[in-house]
Amino acid sequence: MNTVLKIGLVSVSDRASQGIYEDKGIPALNDWLHRALSTPFSLETRLIADEQDLIETTLIDLVDHCGCHLVLTTGGTGPAKRDVTPDATMAVMDREMPGFGEQMRQISLKFVPTAILSRQTAVIRGASLILNLPGQPKSIQETLEGLKDAEGNTVCAGIFSAIPYCIQLLEGPYIETHPQIVTAFRPKSAIKNPN
């Protein structure tokens, strides 16, 4: 069972998708994943407008047809009328994973009180995990990696710590990380011995 980890990256932005400004979400995610993961992986990327039908179709395509084990979206998670990423995500889910959204808000609240306005969420579709991340590169890194003190000790766990075990429970590939960036947490019974 040597399935290669496949990750979908979706940047949801009206203006970036029209070329009005450069998308920063996908490059930030791409860079962070290459620094954080020691497991080989492949990427499927999409830059799309804030249109609920289009977001739903894109998520379904990435999971059902491209076979992504993990899909990370960025952008479109606020309360504005055009922010429909969570609505599209919930529309295509089989099950909700509310702990991810709760932790993302906890991390962001350490910086800005308006983090409470975020509607970031996570769901399972089939055997895939879909997560809605914030839109700013700095916030993406903080959310995934967590917060560390001056000595490098984790003071608030990032959400990526839980993702490898979640994918494992969904019978996806075994994901390993570089601990200096983020440590994957698993119960002892779920840890594979190094070869």
pLDDT value at position 15? 83
pLDDT value at position 77? 94
State yes or no: pLDDT of 103 exceeds 80.
Answer: yes
Residues 14/48, Cβ–Cβ less than 8 Å: no
Residues 46/8, Cβ–Cβ less than 8 Å: yes
pLDDT value at position 195? 45
Domains of the chain listed by start with CATH number? 5-190 (3.40.980.10)
pLDDT in tens, 165-177: 999 999 999 999 9
pLDDT in tens, 38-75: 999 999 999 999 999 999 999 999 999 999 999 999 99
What burial class does residue 168 get, using C-beta atoms within 10 Å of its C-beta: 0-12 exposed, 13-18 middle, 19+ buried?
middle
How far is residue 195 from each of residues 14, 47, 105, 135, 192, measured CA to CA in Å?
Answer: 47, 39, 38, 38, 9
pTM for this structure? 0.94
* Average pLDDT in the chain: 93
State yes or no: pLDDT of 156 exceeds 70.
Answer: yes
How many residues are there in the chain? 195
The pLDDT of 142-156, averaged and rounded, is 87
Of 91, 181, 165, residue with least CA distance to 132: 91
State yes or no: pLDDT of 12 exceeds 50.
Answer: yes
| Pair of tokens at residue 11 | 């940047």
pLDDT value at position 164? 97
Report the alpha-carbon distance of residue 166 to residue 38 in Å, rounded: 17
pLDDT value at position 2? 61
pLDDT in tens, 13-31: 888 888 888 899 999 999 9
**Choice between 34 and 149, residue whose per-residue pLDDT is larger:** 34
